[in-house]
Copies of this chain bind each other. A is one copy, B any other.
């Protein structure tokens, strides 16, 4: 239900794939959450165990909604070829013959911070601000065009770089987390493959410059959704450090 503002473009020519990629990359440079102060603190080793618990617990809600988001996208395509490609994402997160998927791996990360998986799975200590942001993502993929839904996944264009940086930082500064990093290891390969497919899709299915701009705008809104989750974490657990009534409080600061 978000109001959208499409910025007027100085020119209106149809973008080549390469130009489109540059436009998308530019959105990432400006708005992707690698620039968020919460992540900067994390990567400088300046978060406490309690703050990393809060991050793992809250981001679990995001992780748990990812295969639901992808199932919504699956449900919106009438093309079996698209669906066969896209359903990989559901398997990546839910697991296949074993539950060894992204959600299970994220739970092991949360356990490595010292939380019980039962506590994390309940989701009843998640910050409302995180919940609303994640739900806004489901809203976007449900109510916009399929083109925009796919476009919103393009943050994966930027995630490999962030995850590589993060893996190094987490190993260096939080060695007690070492047993919980499989999630990120797996995403190093999964995310770029997904991003390539999605980029190809939007390049082929945006038939006008206006449609290309809708893709850019969807990516921007997805960046806002990721950013807002970290704003909520920062407000609650870093500075001023006021979790709202009922939200998670770390046992150790």
Q: Contact residues of A with B, CB < 8 Å?
A: 1-3, 5, 30-31, 37, 61, 122-124, 126-129, 131-133, 135-136, 138-139, 220, 223-225, 227-228, 231-232, 234-236, 239-240, 242, 244-246
User: How many copies of this protein are present in the complex?
Assistant: 2
Cβ-defined partner of A224 (8 Å) among B138, B220, B231, B244: B244
Q: Besides the contacts A227-B244, A231-B232, A232-B235, what 19 more A-B pairs have beta carbons closer than 8 Å?
A: A2-B135, A3-B124, A3-B131, A5-B122, A30-B245, A31-B245, A127-B228, A128-B133, A129-B132, A129-B231, A131-B136, A135-B136, A136-B136, A224-B244, A224-B245, A228-B232, A231-B236, A234-B242, A235-B235
Chain B, Cβ-Cβ closest to A138: B1
A135 touches B1 (CB 8 A): yes
B139 touches A135 (CB 8 A): yes
Residues from chain B with Cβ under 8 Å of A225 in the complex = 128, 132
B234 touches A240 (CB 8 A): yes
Cβ-defined partner of A132 (8 Å) among B61, B223, B228: B228
User: In the complex, how many angstroms separate the beta carbon of A59 from the nearest chain B beta carbon?
Assistant: 15
A128 to B123, CA, bound (A): 22
Q: Which of A128, A223, A246 is packed against the most chain B CB atoms within 10 Å? A: A128
